[in-house]
Chain A
Amino acid sequence: MDIIQILSLALNELVAPMTVGYILCAIGLAVHFGFTGLLNFGQAAFAALGAYGYGYAVLVFGWDLWGAILFGLICAMAFAALLGIPTLRLRADYLAIVTIAASQALRFTVGSSTAAPITGGSAGQSQFGESFYALNPFPEGEYNLGTVTLTNLELWMRVVAWGLVAIAALFVFALTRSPWGRVLKGIREDEDAVRALGKNVFAYKLQALVIGGSIAAFGGMVFVMSSQANEPTNWGTNFTFITWTILLLGGAATILGPIVGGMVFFALLTLIESFLEILVNAGLLPFLLIEQVAQIRFLLVGLILMLLVIFRPQGFFGNKKEMQFNG
């Protein structure tokens, strides 16, 4: 592999559907954490429910694209309500524990052979994208985008994925500039003060949880759509942790943060991994095996997460003062 290949790989990662899946989840998390202050550590569950709901509607109900999307969305929203109604009254750090526990419980359950008739068990779901790809308007052939060559279907996938990012960003932008968004930010700062001003804090938190969860549900659908394979192992806690890293990298209380954070994060990971592979292949890192390079990825996730929180909690775009954590 030469340097040009590495760079093009990294560039490909910038726009890959998987990257977009994470970006959408991070935008949802920005609504949760950045604007409302909810410590949601179960974002993987919302994404998983979007993906599973979609897959189930297609594979079992035989629904078309729109119906299936709606079903995936409803699954995630229902989960948000189910989780939120009892837990949003809890202190912030308890919410973190509850959400991470709920998402793990969900992952164990969907991946179990008991749930296999519904979720496909450990094998998950596959081949559910026909109606989506049927809408592809691009004629068959190869598309050279200057940096990568894509098939028409791959191009379609990316166009839709980035279209969703644009819509989600505009949606959140509009919300956060409104008096509604102002109440959310107030809640992030001190929910009792906002209560004393006559706002129904619980209802706002629930709305925020549902909206952020819905955006994550789209993220989950995009995440599984390009490979048309949805496996329970996708939705472990690492998914959530990567989403957090992306969010904090870009800036939690910003709109562009999650987008640029996601792109930079994956490009950076690919670059580092590729360079490490070169070094290993050249025998310069004798202590590292080539297949261990992939493990470095998560090590970096952890390291970036730590360093960001300690040294730059506002991320790339955040105002130094705008984002700090309460507690």
Chain B
Amino acid sequence: MNRLLKGPARAIGALIAGFLIFAGLLTASPASAADADPSTFAYTIAGTLQQDDTPITGVTIIASKDAEKFETKSDEFGEWTIMVPTDGIWKVELDTTTIPKEFNLANKDGAVNEADLSQTDFAAVLFKFGTDVVVKQSFTDQLLVRVFAGFNFGLMLAIAAIGITLIYGTTGLNNFAHGEMVTLGAMMMWLFYSFFQWNILVAGLVAVAAVTAFGWAQDAGIWKPLRKRRLGLNQMMIVSIGFGIVARYLILLFFAGDTKDISGAATVIQLGPIFTSDVTLVSMVISVLALLGVAYFLTRTRIGKATRAVSDNSSLAASTGIDVERIIRIVWVVAAALTGLAGVLYGLQFQGNWSMGYDILLLLFAAVTLGGLGAPLGAAVGALIIGMVVEVSTLFMPSELKYVSALLILIVILVVRPQGVLGKKQRIG
């Protein structure tokens, strides 16, 4: 056996040969799912059917995936549960012929839904009955509401986007693992604030500190050694994709896949047509202060000026005596702190889950691209625009497509003005 372990290729060869021998000995027939006892299944889909608080009884609900199908009926409380054997996305639908006449679905496509069991073992599925309550608002009011929401969202994107752009500016890395710092910020906030019930300020500070430490460790443990090895930038980008996946799924393993309620008690505040909360208003103020702080840091402090010099031309900066590696380390720490803060604020307002940061990663890239990669204050402006576009676009198109508009902007910008927006065109010759 020792002999086999000499080279990886041999080991793999041996492994494959091993399969062939073992597998040749049998004809496996995995137990068909339909024969098994559903109550032993590991995954659960459940929900309650009701219209205006009246339970709907006796409706057939069918969960299906691939060739497998399981069904149940809603009970006297309108509740139903289906156990299924495997993970993945299950299609859940109501047999509309079994819905009693006095009840009606809120919209005609509403009988089909899906349960995402790819990351968890339980999924709740909601079917809407009755008339959809649409509060009629005047267009200007709606616009005001959206602009406010866009501004708020844009501010949060801005502090995370500045992190991306600082790192890109000083190291040339398109960091695809940036979203995970947002997620980590929110998850830490959940841990300290919602779970340990610490004071909100203390929890927030500790959460940001944790992400900051993560950023520092990331640079020291991965990026600095890779820079030392002179790994190409495209290669580094792929490494960051891999690292992002690892970080994302580690977060999932530790924090599970459910949505974390981080908000705590927020007081609703009405500003004209806009309903908002004290948490939102305070977080907007914090975002603005953070942005002003960054602007001050970059333009007024010695280290900030050195950072800009490194972004401009790192070899020139090095030759004027700037310690480029030190600047990069500081940039990672600052970027991680800002991004962690974005995660904390995002989580406080919109809850959080394991993939929240990844979900907005491309929006961050869009913001950074719009403002000019490597130009921190441009990124902030870009983020505000992207946030606004995402929110305001919902007035004109289905809200499920709101990220699509931002992605299209990203594509158009890159196509139309890649070097103009992103910096200098490369030299030829």
**Does A associate with B in a complex?**
yes
Chain A 106-149 against B: per-residue CB contact (8 Å), 1 yes, 0 no? Answer: 00110011101000011100000000000000000000101111
* Max count, chain B CB within 10 A of own CB: residue among A7, A11, A86, A298: A7
Q: Flag if B245 contacts A305 (CB, 8 Å).
A: yes
Assembled-state Cα–Cα distance A104/B406 (Å): 11
Q: Flag if B23 contacts A299 (CB, 8 Å).
A: no
* Max count, chain B CB within 10 A of own CB: residue among A104, A238, A301, A304: A104
Chain B 23-55 against A: per-residue CB contact (8 Å), 1 yes, 0 no? Answer: 111111110000000000011000000000000
Assembled-state Cα–Cα distance A30/B426 (Å): 27
Assembled-state Cα–Cα distance A306/B397 (Å): 39
Chain A CB within 8 A of B261 CB: no
Instruction: For A10, give its contact among B19, B67, B414 (CB under 8 Å).
Output: B19
Instruction: For A98, give its contact among B12, B20, B42, B415 (CB under 8 Å).
Output: B415
Chain A CB within 8 A of B100 CB: no
Which residues of chain B have C-beta atoms less than 8 A from A8's C-beta? 19, 22-23, 26, 28
Assembled-state Cα–Cα distance A84/B113 (Å): 35
Which residues of chain A have C-beta atoms less than 8 A from B410's C-beta? 97-98, 101
Which residues of chain A have C-beta atoms less than 8 A from B243's C-beta? 302, 306
Which residues of chain B have C-beta atoms less than 8 A from A4's C-beta? 22-23, 25-26, 28
Q: Flag if B415 contacts A90 (CB, 8 Å).
A: yes
* Max count, chain A CB within 10 A of own CB: residue among B119, B234, B362: B234
Which B residues from 408 to 428 make CB contacts under 8 A with A? Answer: 408, 410-411, 414-415, 418, 422, 426, 428
Chain B 361-375 against A: per-residue CB contact (8 Å), 1 yes, 0 no? Answer: 010011001000000
Q: Flag if B237 contacts A306 (CB, 8 Å).
A: no
Chain A CB within 8 A of B185 CB: no
Q: Flag if A97 contacts B407 (CB, 8 Å).
A: no
Assembled-state Cα–Cα distance A302/B176 (Å): 12
Chain A CB within 8 A of B289 CB: no
Majority-rule SS of A interface residues: helix
Chain B CB within 8 A of A309 CB: yes
Assembled-state Cα–Cα distance A221/B397 (Å): 31
Which residues of chain B have C-beta atoms less than 8 A from A96's C-beta? 174, 234, 237
Chain B 388-414 against A: per-residue CB contact (8 Å), 1 yes, 0 no? Answer: 000000000110110110011011001
Chain B CB within 8 A of A3 CB: yes
Chain B CB within 8 A of A102 CB: yes
Q: Closest CB of chain B to A324's CB: distance in Å?
A: 7
* Contacts A101-B407, A299-B245 given; does A231 touch B234 at CB 8 Å: no
Chain B CB within 8 A of A93 CB: yes
Which residues of chain B have C-beta atoms less than 8 A from A97's C-beta? 174, 362, 365, 369, 410, 414
Which residues of chain A have C-beta atoms less than 8 A from B16's C-beta? 267
* Max count, chain A CB within 10 A of own CB: residue among B397, B407, B408, B418: B407
Q: Flag if B42 contacts A104 (CB, 8 Å).
A: no
Chain A CB within 8 A of B250 CB: yes
Closest A residue to B416 using CB positions: A86
Closest A residue to B222 using CB positions: A306
Majority-rule SS of B interface residues: helix
Q: Flag if B235 contacts A327 (CB, 8 Å).
A: yes
Which residues of chain B have C-beta atoms less than 8 A from A200's C-beta? none
Assembled-state Cα–Cα distance A296/B249 (Å): 7
Q: Closest CB of chain B to A312's CB: distance in Å?
A: 10
Which residues of chain B have C-beta atoms less than 8 A from A217's C-beta? none
Q: Flag if A291 contacts B253 (CB, 8 Å).
A: no
Chain A 1-20 against B: per-residue CB contact (8 Å), 1 yes, 0 no? Answer: 00111011111101000000
Q: Flag if B246 contacts A7 (CB, 8 Å).
A: no
Q: Closest CB of chain B to A7's CB: distance in Å?
A: 4
* Contacts A97-B365, A101-B411 given; does A325 touch B232 at CB 8 Å: yes
Chain A CB within 8 A of B89 CB: yes
Which A residues from 46 to 61 make CB contacts under 8 A with B? Answer: none
Q: How many residues of A contact B (CB 8 A)?
A: 76
Q: Flag if A104 contacts B407 (CB, 8 Å).
A: yes
Instruction: For B403, give its contact among A91, A108, A299 (CB under 8 Å).
Output: A108
Instruction: For A325, give its contact among B87, B235, B252 (CB under 8 Å).
Output: B235
* Contacts A112-B398, A291-B120, A306-B242 given; does A313 touch B235 at CB 8 Å: yes
Which residues of chain B have C-beta atoms less than 8 A from A86's C-beta? 415
Assembled-state Cα–Cα distance A86/B412 (Å): 9
Instruction: For A192, give its contact among B19, B20, B239, B428 (CB under 8 Å).
Output: B428
Which A residues from 13 to 64 make CB contacts under 8 A with B? Answer: 14, 39, 41
Closest A residue to B26 using CB positions: A4
* Contacts A5-B28, A310-B231 given; does A299 touch B404 at CB 8 Å: no
Assembled-state Cα–Cα distance A96/B233 (Å): 12
Q: Flag if A144 contacts B27 (CB, 8 Å).
A: yes
Which residues of chain B have C-beta atoms less than 8 A from A241's C-beta? 241-242, 245
| Given A112-B400, A306-B243, 4 new contacts (CB under 8 A) | A11-B19, A97-B410, A149-B27, A324-B235
The 9 closest A-B pairs by CB, nearest first: A302-B245, A305-B242, A306-B242, A147-B23, A302-B246, A327-B234, A299-B249, A105-B407, A86-B415
The contact sample of 26 A-B pairs, CB cut-off 8 A, is A4-B22, A87-B415, A94-B422, A96-B174, A97-B410, A101-B411, A102-B411, A105-B404, A105-B411, A108-B400, A108-B401, A108-B403, A147-B24, A229-B66, A241-B241, A267-B19, A288-B253, A296-B253, A298-B248, A299-B249, A299-B250, A301-B245, A303-B246, A316-B9, A325-B234, A326-B232
The chain B residues found within 8 Å of chain A, CB to CB, are: 9, 12, 16, 18-20, 22-30, 42-43, 65-67, 87, 89, 91, 109, 112-114, 116, 118-121, 174, 226, 229, 231-235, 237-239, 241-250, 252-253, 362, 365-366, 369, 397-398, 400-401, 403-404, 407-408, 410-411, 414-415, 418, 422, 426, 428
The chain A residues found within 8 Å of chain B, CB to CB, are: 3-5, 7-12, 14, 39, 41, 86-87, 90-94, 96-98, 100-102, 104-105, 108-109, 112-114, 116, 121-123, 144, 146-149, 192, 227, 229, 231, 233, 238, 241, 244, 248, 264, 267, 288, 290-292, 294-296, 298-299, 301-307, 309-310, 313, 316, 324-327
